[in-house]
Chains A and B, each alone.
Chain A
Amino acid sequence: MIEFVLLAFGLFIMLFGALGLVRFPDVYTRLHATSKCDTGGAMSILLALAVSVNAPLLIRLKFVLLAFLIALINPMLSHAIARGAYKRGIKPKVVVDMYGGGNP
């Protein structure tokens, strides 16, 4: 039963991440929506598969390895893209910009 709960949780989190990517006004807010939602949803679905599958232990460990790699790689990519976008000159549509140093 736990696998159904994990699968539904991951699918809905991924749907909300996609909606945030479409609806948010800015590069950084879109990144904020998709990075966390995608990482959490993918890890949840992969853990559901690792719990439910009837296979040898090595294949279950491969699902867990895939979840671990997603948790390792996805935040790194989000950080790199946000840094590159800021260095390119795309300004965030906010009042306070702490990375630019223009506020007290």
Chain B
Amino acid sequence: MAEENFLVTLRYAVWFLVFTAAVVSYRVVFGPTLADRVVALNTATTKVVVMVAVLSVVLDAYYLLDVAIVLLMVNAVGGLIIAKYLEVGR
């Protein structure tokens, strides 16, 4: 647990990150090409990783950090595979 003022700030920070993820999801839905959607999905996943890391401090449940690390690695592998599909597949 951190100090009390910072915990209250972190709760608003989580909502702010949710708002930015909602802004990014506009590009996921209405992106003109496939590459736009891939870029927006990677951005949203990074935001979700930060959200989980902040929530691990807010909820005092530090096992969520392992969840964040695993989500980041899954994002890396999935993004590389989608990038390879962008090269070769039509």
Residues on A lying within 8 angstroms of B by beta carbon are: 3-4, 7, 11, 14-15, 17-19, 21-22, 27, 30-31, 34, 38-39, 41-42, 45-46, 49, 52-55, 59, 62-63, 65-66, 69-70, 73-74, 76-78, 80-81, 83-85, 87-88, 90
Contacts and interface: CB of A to CB of B under 8 A. Distances in A.
Instruction: Using C-beta atoms within 8 Å of the partner chain, give the interface range for chain B.
Output: 35 or more
Main secondary structure of the interface of A (DSSP, over half): helix
Q: Which one of A31, A49, A83 has the greatest number of beta carbons of chain B within 10 Å?
A: A49
Given A63-B53, A65-B69, A81-B86, A7 B23 contact: no
Contacts of B90: 88
A12 B57 CA distance: 20
